[in-house]
Every structure is written in structure tokens, then in C-alpha cells.
Amino acid sequence: MLNKYFINYSNNNYTLLLKRCVLLCVLFVGFSTFSQTAPKVSTKIDTTSIKIGDQITFTVTVETDTTAQVIFPEGQTFSPLETVEAFATDTTRQNDRMTLQKIYALTQFDSGSYKIPAQRIEINGEGFLTDSTRIINVANVAVDTLAQKMYDIKPLMEVDKSYSAIWKILLLVILGLLIIGGLLYWFVFRKKPLTEEEKVALLPPYDRALLELKNLEKSKYLIQDEYKEYYSELTGIVRSYLEEDANVSALESTTDELIGKLELLKDAGELKIDDDTLQQFKRILQTADLVKFAKSKPDTSVAEQDRQSIEQIVHKTHDALPEPTVEELMEQEEYKEELEKKKQKKKIIYASVAVIGVLVISFAAASAYYGFTYVKDTILGHPTKELLEGEWVSSSYGYPPISLETPQVLTRQETKLTPEMKGSIKELQMFSYNSNQGFFMVGTTSTTLAQEVEPEFNKSIEAFIKNLEKGGAKNIITKQEEFVTVTGVKGIKVFGSGKFPVPGSDELIDGEYSILLFGGKGFQQQIIINWLEEDEYAQEIVDRILGSVEVKTEL
């Protein structure tokens, strides 16, 4: 139900919403005046010139009250210089004052002149920036070109791409197809060896009748006094033969009805058989009726003679039948072809059922292992799942830069500052990405203030929420907590959920949002993300983006 709404969410609508939110946020940014306080921050370095790969010692000294809480920067915050090691903080106390000393070992592997960036020191929650005017000169290592022979740069070498993973997948697919093909061949298409009963059933009626009479002769019916079974099988053989070869409905006919039908065929010239043979056949059928219904028991010799007589009757009947016409032979051939087509059709049906069965079993197994929703979305496709599994982009946006990893690159958004905003904002840079097929958006904003003052985040948050409500959002739930980047930079995370409007419709959809706010004297940085509620793929995307966020703390 929600898909039909968020699929229609266009890039222009997202961009307009992002601009309105951010512009109102920065409009309400408060300015807290900076006054000289008791804490004192100073820095020093042991040298301003090093060779490539050598290290310099950068020392930060803080003098403050013994009750103050001091937080030094951690991680790679000295870019373009690299932090080799951050030593433990050295603390000395004297009366109600204390001196904290933090030493960093820095290096650089490219020659040139580099400025040590200002570092943000937090004292009782207030930020203090160190001096950033120190220049470090990194010199090349001298190379004796006379003693060392120089060689041309070697050309690029083409390396064959590794297809090991593709080959593994192909081998698994081929193995699966071979297994399915083998099962289909063995159970459907393979010509199975015929059983004795099937071989007998394929014989012509005349040959089959003679064979069955020979088998009856070898039976133990007469030895075991099973005359009823003997005569039942004897008359069944001859009746089946007459029905198939002479086209006489013999199986369901009584003795008199069967003899009457044969006489009609004889009189019509369709069966050239003499009267003695008919009378002899009638007598055998009557004897069989007495044995089956009156429990009569003839001599064994009579029973054997009756079998021989039936064999002679089959011979005479076969000889008395006229040769089949060309039309009859063609009908028989068409009948055989029709039977073959039916068999082929059955094989195709069996094969289709087998393939469908394998697919159903595979789908069920995959659903049991990975989950039904994941398998369904993999087969049918899902917009945010495709974003999650696509190739991600790592980049920095704006100034001061915001570094993060996103499914797609963020594009710059043109913004115009109002005359009222120009008095407090020096520069505003916005970047965003909006999914064409999903209620998903990520954007960054870097704001440079006209004065070096601390931004008031609370006013920015209030402005953002008011702008959402003005746009038609309802039931907005807001939560707030501290957010720390991977390198230890602290910020504020505001997150929650609500019902957001769909452009061109009165419907509201359930969505979630998350805002990260960073800043210092003279600047503010924001990251805004919103996505569809209960979209597990979007939640994974958000977690991955938040885990990659990094910001610079200097202008």
C-alpha cells in the first residue's frame, strides 16, 4: 500500500522540503557571545622542518580549574598531517588550578608546506580552538643520482580480472541443472525396460491369445482342482481375443448372445467360420458356465481338450477374418500416432511439474533460510534493497567538509539567502540525494556564520519541527541523544517518526527521520535523512551512513 505513495515522491519535492527545512533552521540559529574565561589553551611544536616520514611533537597545554572537565580530540583530526600516536594526558595540580598536557606525534609522507589545523578542546562543554597558523615544512630525502642509476617509469600492466567467484556460481548452477536433468531423464524421458506383462500387452491380439493359452497349459489349476479359475481364464482369453480382433462385444455378453453375434457375422460374410466350430465353441462356453455357476467338475482330460479346442477356434477365427483394408490400416496408424502424442504430452506435463516442484522447493528452502520477504524482494525487486546492495560512494561535501558514505553521490542544491539571513550567514552549501522510487532522502548542509559564535542547536531543532508541521506532517515524535563520530567528534542526534504528506494526495505515510548537528565557533553542519517506516533495507542504509559520518572541526 505504501509503495504506491513513495514511488511518486519526486526529486523536486524532496529538494524543496530539504531547502525549506535547512533555511529555516539556519534562520533561527542563535548566537552565544564568547567571553574570555579562566581556562587557557596553548600549543607548541618541537620543530617546523622535517624530512618525509619523520615525526614532529605537537603539545597542547590547558590551564583550568581542578573541577573542570577537559576533552582532547582523538583520531585523525590533524589532516593533512597524520596522527602517529596520541600519548596519555599528563596532569599537574597546584591549589585549585591544574595543568593538562597532551602530546601528539605527527608525520607526513609527501613533501611540501602544511598548516597544522586548529584543534577543538572542550572545557566544561564549551569549545576552545587551538592556533592553526603553524606551518610545517616537509623536505624530500636527497637522492644521489650519480651513484644511483635512474630508470624509466614502467608502463601500466594489465591484470586479468579474477572470475573465481563467477565460476563458483556457474558451477553451482550447472550442477543444479545437471541434477534436475538427470532426475527428469531417469523418471520421465528414459525408456524403461518393459516387464513381462507389458511385453505381452504390446503383442497383437492373435499372438497374445496363443501365448496366454500356452501359459494356461503350464498352470497348476487342474492339478489343484481349481476348475473355476481354469475355465474363467480360458473363456476370458477367447472373449478378449474376439473383442479385439473380430470387433465383437464378447466380454459382457452371455453365451447365447455371443454365439448369436458370431452367427450374424457369419451370415453377413464378415466371418468365414463353419457351423461345427461355432457349435464346439458354444459347448465349451456352456461347460464353463456350469463350472462357474453350478460347481460342475469335468474330467481333467475334458478340461485339457477344451483348451486345445479354444486354441483351434482362435486359429480358425483368425484365418476366417478378412484382411484389413488400407483405410483400416491408416486408422490404426493414426491411432498409434495419437497414443504416442498422448505419451509425449504426459512426459511434458511431468517435466513441467517436476521443474515447478523444484522451483517451489527452492523458494521454500530459501525463504526458510533467508526469510520470505528477502527472497520475494530479491526476485521481484525493491527500491531501497537495490540501493543497499549497489556500489556506494564515499565523499566530502561542503565547507567545513562533511564526509560520509552514501548509496549514490549527493548533488549540490542551489540556495539563495534572504536579506535577513545574509546578516548572520556568510555562506550556505547544501547537497542531497532523493530516491526516485522510494521515500528515502539524505542531505548535508554546511553553514558558515558571519561571526565566530557558537550555534544554538535547540533553535535549529525547533525550526525544523515547526517547518515539518507547516508542511502537513502530523504525530511527529522527537527524541534526542548525543552522537559521536568514529574519530570522537561529538554532536547532537535528533530522530523520531511521524506521518508525512504525499504531494498531490491527502494521504499520509508513516516515515522516520534522523538529523545530526555539529558545529563550533563560526560554523554549523547538518545531516538529514528520512525513510519509510518498517523498511528494513532503508534502516540498514541509515545505519551504514551514520556509521561513516566524519566532520572537520575547523574553518
Q: What is the CATH code for 3-32+384-551?
A: 3.40.1000.10
Predicted local distance difference test score (pLDDT) of residue 105: 92
In angstroms, the Cα distances linking 226 to 151, 236, 298, 422 are 109, 16, 11, 118
pLDDT score at 1: 32
> 196-321 adopts what CATH topology?
Four Helix Bundle (Hemerythrin (Met), subunit A) (1.20.120)
State the fold for domain 53-139.
Answer: Immunoglobulin-like (2.60.40)
Per-residue pLDDT of the chain (555 residues; tens, 9 = 90+): 333 333 343 344 544 554 555 444 444 443 333 334 468 888 888 888 888 888 999 999 999 988 888 899 888 788 888 889 899 888 888 888 889 999 999 998 888 888 888 888 888 888 888 876 578 888 876 655 555 566 666 666 665 655 555 567 677 778 877 888 787 777 766 776 667 776 767 788 888 888 888 989 888 888 888 889 999 999 999 888 888 887 788 888 888 888 888 888 888 877 778 888 888 888 988 988 998 888 888 888 888 998 898 888 888 888 877 665 656 556 656 766 777 777 778 777 777 777 777 677 766 766 666 666 666 666 666 777 878 888 888 888 888 888 899 988 888 888 777 777 777 788 888 898 887 666 788 999 888 887 878 887 888 888 888 888 887 888 888 888 888 888 888 888 998 888 888 766 778 888 888 999 988 888 888 899 888 887 888 888 888 998 889 887 665
pLDDT the model gives residue 396: 87
- pLDDT given for residue 324 in this prediction: 59
* Exposure b/e, 101-135, CB count within 10 A at least 16 = b: ebbbebbbeeeeebebbbbbbebeeebbbbeeebe
* 8 A C-beta contact, residue 212 and residue 235: no
Res 241: pLDDT:
85
What does the H/E/C string look like for 72-133?
A: CCCCCCCCCCEEEEECCCEEEEECCEEEEEEEEEEECCCCEEEECCCCEEEECCEEEECCCC
Which three cell numbers mark 272?
468365414
Q: Where are the domains of the chain?
A: 3-32+384-551, 53-139, 196-321, 327-380
Would you list the DSSP string of 471-538?
TT-EEEEEEEEEEE-TT--EEEEEEEEEEEEPTTSS-EEEEEEEEEEEEETTEEEEEEEEEETT-HHH
* pLDDT the model gives residue 148: 57
Q: Rounded to two decimals, what is the model's pTM?
A: 0.43
- Confirm if 439 and 529 have CB atoms less than 8 A apart: no
| CA nearest to 343, candidates 189, 167, 500, 545 | 189
Alpha helices in 371-491 (DSSP H): 372-380, 383-389, 419-422, 457-470
Q: What is the pLDDT of residue 150?
A: 63
Give CA–CA dist 535/374, Å, rounded. 12
